[in-house]
Chain A
């Protein structure tokens, strides 16, 4: 229970930086995109609240995909990396105590999922999922291997860029976000119909993690930085002094 009154309303979502429901080059969207306009329903208490997850949720190895599925003494195959960044809202404030879940293919582009029949082999020491809770400053990090690109049945010779899926919770159910992180310099990014469902080049750039030499561990692993932004409090309402 909060002592501070109702949670603040969120800024209206800026759809100019979000992928349209229907992006025909991504064929799966054709039959799964609503045709009617979304009905605006801002500021409902149910959507401004959301579940909280404690710091005791993740186990000691949940953030370490290199080891969390590996046999004792073994580790996943592939280039070892730290992925780290900060979770903020649109007002720039860190989002602490938030659950971030990640999943990805192995270094060869193969997922540990019964529906993935790609001929690249599974890595017996790689599961492909991890989770972390953000710190007081909104920071997070996990350890993994660089996922491989993989082909997918989209009607042509389509290959996904190397990517890591992110599922992110804020404090409000309306902030719920699933996205994908790409890697700086990957030529597949510009070719991908899923990426290109996003109409805004800057928004694509912000999904592209940067090599971060400052956070590498010499003779051990490189690092990539990926910052995430969730919807934030409505600036107009704060300017009017009616933040609740």
Chain B
């Protein structure tokens, strides 16, 4: 296929990614009414409300305070709010996509969303999970990972969590529950390095 084009090269989002993607967070008011991706689940969204939060640690154990994380997930019934969803209509009050900065002091990111349903596709059932995409200064190509929910029975048969190459590393993909809040810390490098995917 000689006429195929080649994907544009990625470059780091840099330390000022917020100017373009979260301008109100960066203190730039008056251009957009609000930052994109603030609301994942509208007031009428079906499902169990949860907060997903955590920090992203570098190889020295320091939390990133200048990164941006995007979330993409199915609704409570396991359907995606996307033109590419072919299995049914997703919850009209659930957007499924969110965007957050890591806090400039604490390094915490936070998403207020709902617990996703299992995704049944191609004869396979995927345990409830959210996809996360991480960009920052020092990250040349955005990193894809997934947060699963520790303790859910569907995890045992999930086709990703049971991949042989994830043996010994599955814990890095499990968010931990405390009431309605799930904590998912990400380690970019080192002994507790999170599993990142080539999707």
Contacts and interface: CB of A to CB of B under 8 A. Distances in A.
A233 to B, nearest CB: 10
Contacts of A69: 28, 30-31
A32 B64 contact: yes
B38 interface: no
A14 B6 contact: yes
B142 interface: yes
Contacts of B16: 103, 111, 113, 115-116, 165
A203 interface: yes
Contacts of B66: 115
Contacts of A18: 7, 9-10, 140-141
Contacts of B119: 45-46
Interface string B62-78: 10101000101110000
Contacts, number: 282
Interface string A29-41: 1111111101111
A88 interface: yes
B10 A178 contact: yes
Interface in B1-40: 1, 3-21, 23, 26-28, 30-33, 36
B154 to A, nearest CB: 15
A173 B189 contact: no
Interface size range on B against A:
35 or more
Interface string B85-107: 11111000001110000000000
A237 B62 CA distance: 43
A107 B143 CA distance: 31
Interface string A160-184: 0000010100011110111110000
Contacts of A1: 85-89
A167 B199 contact: no
A240 to B, nearest CB: 13
B6 A90 contact: yes
Nearest to B33: A59
Interface size range on A against B:
35 or more
Interface in A16-59: 17-21, 23, 26, 28-36, 38-42, 44-53, 57, 59
User: Among A26, A35, A39, A59, which residue has the most Cβ atoms of chain B within 10 A?
Assistant: A39
Interface of B: 1, 3-21, 23, 26-28, 30-33, 36, 58-60, 62, 64, 66, 70, 72-74, 80-89, 95-97, 119, 121-122, 126, 129, 131, 133, 135-144, 160, 163, 165-166, 188-190, 193-199
12 contacts: A1-B89, A4-B86, A14-B6, A28-B138, A29-B138, A45-B80, A52-B83, A103-B20, A116-B16, A165-B17, A178-B135, A180-B11
Interface of A: 1-7, 12-14, 17-21, 23, 26, 28-36, 38-42, 44-53, 57, 59, 61-62, 68-69, 88-92, 101-103, 111-116, 127-131, 165, 167, 171-174, 176-180, 194-195, 197-198, 200, 202-204, 206-207, 228-232, 235
